[in-house]
């Protein structure tokens, strides 16, 4: 699994912009993104493979940046279990929760987009180890520690 797109937006309603790399600060978020400085939702991650399935269900293709997620990987399922660790390049993330698609996506992508993206919208993560995330970085997943 590799990073194929990185998007950030300075504010909630402002358009996302595509970047080749972004600085990830532990405990803070992605520098230049609207969620930088929030408590837990530092980074959102989604799978292009799952987005393509949603596009098929929707009946038309759409730009992966239209979902407003930060990181898009090429393939595979995105972990949704809280505590699961992901490493992207030299940045360590921890899954906080699954993300639900916003109904505003019906306006931006087309009628039915939110329904097509259900269970395909990715996960919210917090940054536990700082560094840079770059296009092409490999993503590895580590299961969360066992609960006693």
The pLDDT tens digits of the residues spanning 133-142 come to 999 999 999 8
Q: Where are the alpha helices (DSSP H) in the chain?
A: 48-58, 105-108, 113-116
Q: Does 3 score more than 90 pLDDT?
A: yes
pLDDT of 66: 74
**Torsion 142-122-41-37 (CA) sign:** positive
pLDDT digits (tens, 9 = 90+) for 82-132: 999 999 999 999 999 888 766 656 556 656 566 666 676 789 999 999 999
pLDDT at 8 exceeding the cut of 90 = yes
- In the chain, DSSP assigns E strands to 3-8, 17-18, 21-25, 29-30, 43-47, 71-73, 85-88, 91-98, 123-129, 131-134, 139-142
CA 13 to chain centre: 17
* pLDDT score recorded for residue 5: 94
Cα separation, 113 vs 102, whole angstroms: 9
Q: Cα separation of 137 and 93, whole Å?
A: 14
CA dist 146 and 123 (Å) reads 20
The gap from C-alpha 140 to its chain's centroid, in whole angstroms, comes to: 14
CATH number belonging to domain 3-128: 2.40.33.20
φ, ψ (nearest 5 deg) of residue 34: -60, -25
Edge to edge, the sheet with strand 123-129 lists 17-18, 3-8, 71-73, 43-47, 123-129, 91-98, 85-88, 139-142
């Amino acid at each position: 699994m590799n990073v194929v797109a990185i998007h950030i937006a300075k504010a909630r309603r402002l358009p996302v912009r595509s970047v080749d790399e972004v600085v990830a600060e532990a405990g803070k978020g992605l520098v230049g993104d609207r969620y930088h400085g929030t408590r837990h939702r530092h980074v959102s991650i989604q799978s292009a493979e799952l987005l393509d399935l949603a596009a098929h269900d929707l009946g038309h293709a759409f730009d992966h940046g239209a979902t407003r997620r930060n990181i898009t990987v090429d393939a595979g399922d995105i972990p949704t279990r809280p505590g699961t660790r992901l490493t992207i390049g030299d940045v360590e993330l921890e899954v906080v929760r699954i993300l639900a698609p916003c109904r505003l996506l019906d306006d931006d992508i087309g009628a039915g987009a939110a329904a097509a993206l259900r269970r395909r919208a990715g996960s919210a993560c917090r940054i536990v180890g700082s560094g840079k995330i770059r296009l092409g970085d490999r993503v590895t997943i580590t299961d969360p520690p066992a609960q006693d």
